[in-house]
Amino acid sequence: MSVIYLVRHGQASLFSADYDLLTPLGEEQASILGTALSHRKFTPSAVVGGSLKRHIQTKDGYLAAQTFEMEMSVVPAWNEYDHQELLVKHNALFTDFEAIGAHIIKSEVPIKELQKILNDAMWDWIQDKHSYTKTWEQFKAGVWEALNELGSTLQKDQDAIVFTSGGPISAIMMKLLNLDTQAFFDLQQRIVNTSLTKVISGRNGLSLSTFNDYSHLEHNKLLVTYR
């Protein structure tokens, strides 16, 4: 039996010039995760992740707290869906978060309005309303294939850690638990930054052990973030 930890990246820089960077808090979350897994004596045989900067920075924070060094194998399937493409296809005015910010600033609760815009853009994608670089079906299939391929490479008692985003983790949860499409939205909003989702790879295939474990952050509620 092997363990695969799926890690959502640390807090990213929402509404900044470059969302794909960890905030100082995101860097702290990654370091705390590394310390927590070190205390658990978790030593992976493979470190895998997407190519986004927030994935790489989270991996760096994790490894900085370890007594070993290991290169991360970059697998593009672990990247988040392209939210910017989805937003622009949904509304041509939404070219960046600055433009969206100008749109939602007058809302009573801007963060809720932002979530509504994101959800609407994702529904367009799921329904294949426009032409996309990667379709919803291709996204789900790519993530599931990446997880299965990783599981197949692990020998008995070898473990792995994957640095990814909420979208891929939610897609995997849907598959493992046979959930409907609405669950994709619900799951994404619940996944905490640097939380752990534990998947078991064994002779009977892949199965879920735990979802969204963020006990390493619970000593300080200010560390618990969702973006």
Asked if residues 195 and 213 have their Cβ atoms less than 8 Å apart, the reply is yes
pLDDT band at 19 (very low <50, low <70, confident <90, very high): confident
Return the higher-pLDDT residue of 40 and 102: 40
Q: How does pLDDT run across 94-121, given as a tens digit for each residue?
A: 887 777 777 777 777 877 888 898 999 9
Half-sphere exposure of 211 (CA within 13 A, CB side): 15
Determine the CATH number of domain 1-80+158-227: 3.40.50.1240
Q: What is the pLDDT of residue 180?
A: 95
The number of beta carbons lying within 10 Å of the beta carbon of residue 152 is 9
Q: What is the pLDDT of residue 18?
A: 76
Q: How does pLDDT run across 41-56, given as a tens digit for each residue?
A: 999 999 999 999 999 9
Delimit the domains of the chain by residue range: 1-80+158-227, 82-133
- Global pTM reads 0.93
Cα–Cα distance measured from residue 34 to residue 50, given in angstroms and rounded to the nearest whole number: 18
Q: What is the pLDDT of residue 15?
A: 67
Tell which residue, 108, 93, 89, 21, has the closest CA to residue 60: 21
Is the pLDDT at 186 greater than 70? The verdict is: yes
Return the higher-pLDDT residue of 155 and 28: 28
Q: What is the pLDDT of residue 157?
A: 86
Is the pLDDT at 57 greater than 80? The verdict is: yes
Q: How does pLDDT run across 146-174, given as a tens digit for each residue?
A: 999 999 999 988 999 999 999 999 999 99
Asked if residues 161 and 47 have their Cβ atoms less than 8 Å apart, the reply is yes
